[in-house]
Amino acid sequence: MAKPAGRYRGSVKEFPNFNASQDAEALYNAMKGFGSDKEAILDLITSRNNKQRIEISQAYKSLYGKDLIADLKRELTGKFERLIVGLMRPLAYFDAKEIKDALQGIGTDEKCLIEILASRTNQHG
C-alpha cells in the first residue's frame, strides 16, 4: 500500500526542553581544542528544528561574541560542512543559495530547481 505523499515532510519536530544557550555551549565545546567532535555536532544540529537552530546561532553570538556558522565552516570540511552549514541557515536563505548554485557554471541543475520550486508551500521560509 502506497503511503500518502508528504507523510514525512517536516519530520524534525521541536526538541523537548529546548535550551538554546545549553546547545550553543555544547557546540562550542565540541569545536574547542584540537579537532572537533563531529558526531556531537551532527547529533545536536539534526535533532533540532530550523527555528531552534536559528535560536542556537543567536545564543552562540551572545555567549561567545562569535558567529556560529563561521566557526562551523572553520572546523568542518567537504560535504559534511555543506550539510551542517545548510541546516543552520534559515529555510529561505538555504533555498535561495541552492537555486543560485544550481544556475552557476556550465549547465543547470534542473533536478535541484524542480525540487525547490515544485515542493515548497506558502508556509515555507
Residue 68 belongs to a domain: yes
Kindly report which listed range (8-17, 31-40, 100-109) carries the lowest average pLDDT score: 8-17
Q: Residues 125, 69: one domain? A: no
* pTM as predicted: 0.74
Cell 514525512, residue? 8
Q: Residues 77, 122: one domain? A: no
CATH number at residue 72: 1.10.220.10
Per-residue confidence (pLDDT) for residue 119, from 0 to 100: 79
| Domain count for the chain | 2
Q: How far apart are CA 32 and CA 72, in angstroms?
A: 11
pLDDT tens, position by position, 23-82: 999 999 999 888 889 999 999 999 999 999 999 999 999 999 999 999 999 999 999 998
What are the cell numbers at 9?
Answer: 515532510
Which of 88, 121, 79 has its CA nearest to residue 20? 88
The answer to whether the beta carbons of residues 63 and 24 sit under 8 Å apart is: yes
